[in-house]
Amino acid sequence: MLTTFRNAWKIEELRKKLLFTLFVIVIFRFGSAITVPFLDPSAIKSLIGDGSLLGYFDMLTGGGFSSSTLFALSVTPYINASIIIQLLTVAIPALERMAKEGEEGRRKITRITRYVGCGIALALSIAYYFLLRSQGSLSYTTGFSGVFSAIVIVLSFTAGSMLIMWLGEQIDTKGIGNGISILIFAGIVSRFGSVLSAAKDYFLLGIGYSATNADATPQAQYLIGLPIILIFALVSVAFIVILSAAERRIPVQYAKRVVGRKQYGGQSTHIPIKVNMSGVMPIIFASALISIPGTIRSLFNITGFWGNVLGIFNYNAWGYAVIYTLLIIAFNFFYVAIQYNPIEIANNLRKNNGAVPGIRPGKPTSDFINKILSKITLIGAVFLAVVAILPIIIGNLTGMNIQLGGTSLLIVVGVALDTSRQLESYMLMRHHKGFLE
């Protein structure tokens, strides 16, 4: 991967794209450090890590949410808007027709997604304002100053979210990689320093060191948990790399046909079906969706029966792990269903005199492809779920706060691999095959 980036740097066009992407990342990190006026972010930090969407927000923003910065909402409104629009595309025929209109239809869908994302950003900004107000984080709460500060805070959060959406689109057109994924990647990587600091603290607790208590008791679960986490991280990275490159190849044989004096067809090829076609998007979508109940519980301080029901969605609860797994599998199947249409593939093969050996053309071929797709998709979904769920299990058993570690690891490695593959594609298109050897 490092060799790919080094060789890409030698090509002027790719170097400009890489520099532009780095420039956008710098803007993103700069905005993540600018605190919104009239706020005292110290109060909100006490809520981070209580199992709600707040901890997930903070992970994506690289600490920007807990610091109440301009980019506190990060890409969350855009992600939620994408989920809503993609679900509606399947349910509403007008949107489905629009999605099939080619480039013009995709532009319309993107425009609608922006408007929906703006509405979600405004709603989240208002909710965030009332949350900060309940925690005593505001300089002014009453009178004209209170109204003015409320408007400034809400508009700042909304504008910051829309600016991030625009920055992501600029990376898509002028940079390298998927813009939104790159910004999420940058936010997570920026927190690696705090991860190392937490690992040091767990080690010190494991050996019984305490700056305030000389007779502190060693806690063996931390010493046992740290090597397990390290091994899990290394194994997960290896499996992510292997699974990202793994594919099931369906053989295809094209019949010979003679046109004039020339003979066409007769060659053998294959249809590649990747095991992990949807990448890390099911993880991101499932994390955002399952964390909403916990956020509602925190925002409105719900207790009693409904508080216990919403407490199931706390990432320290076992119910969270079960629901999270089901959501990852469901989103994985949903993404594959959008990307692959077995009936269309079978029809295209028949039009081009192609057939899968041993399978009749038409419906038998589409059924065969659909059966393989279901098996491959299930394998990829289970893998994603295992990598995301194991840190929750390890964290609950050892008491270490690593429940979101699997999600972070999947996103970081997945985005790095996707970006590397895109660089390789650019170089291959320019006949720089020697760089990849």
The C-alpha atoms of residue 337 and residue 133 are separated, in whole angstroms, by 43
Tell me the pLDDT of the chain averaged across its residues.
76
Q: Helical H runs in 175-219?
A: 179-189, 192-207
Give yes or no for a contact between 370 and 346, defined as CB atoms under 8 angstroms apart.
no
Q: Which SS3 state, helix, strand or coil, does residue 209 take?
A: coil
Q: Which two tokens stand for residue 77?
A: 């409104």
Instruction: Name the CATH topology of 219-437.
Output: Preprotein translocase SecY subunit (1.10.3370)
Would you say residue 30 has pLDDT above 50? yes
Half-sphere exposure of 69 (CA within 13 A, CB side): 19
Would you say residue 51 has pLDDT above 50? no
Average pLDDT over residues 313-318: 71
- Provide the pLDDT for residue 343: 84
Q: Which two tokens stand for residue 79?
A: 């992600």
Average pLDDT over residues 87-96: 79
The C-alpha atoms of residue 437 and residue 433 are separated, in whole angstroms, by 7
- Provide the pLDDT for residue 313: 74
- The model's pTM: 0.73
Pinpoint the residues of the chain covered by CATH 1.10.3370.10: 18-185, 219-437
Top CATH class of 18-185 equals mainly alpha
Average pLDDT over residues 150-161: 89
Range among 26-30, 219-223, 402-406 rated most confident: 26-30
H/E run at residue 345: helix 342-351
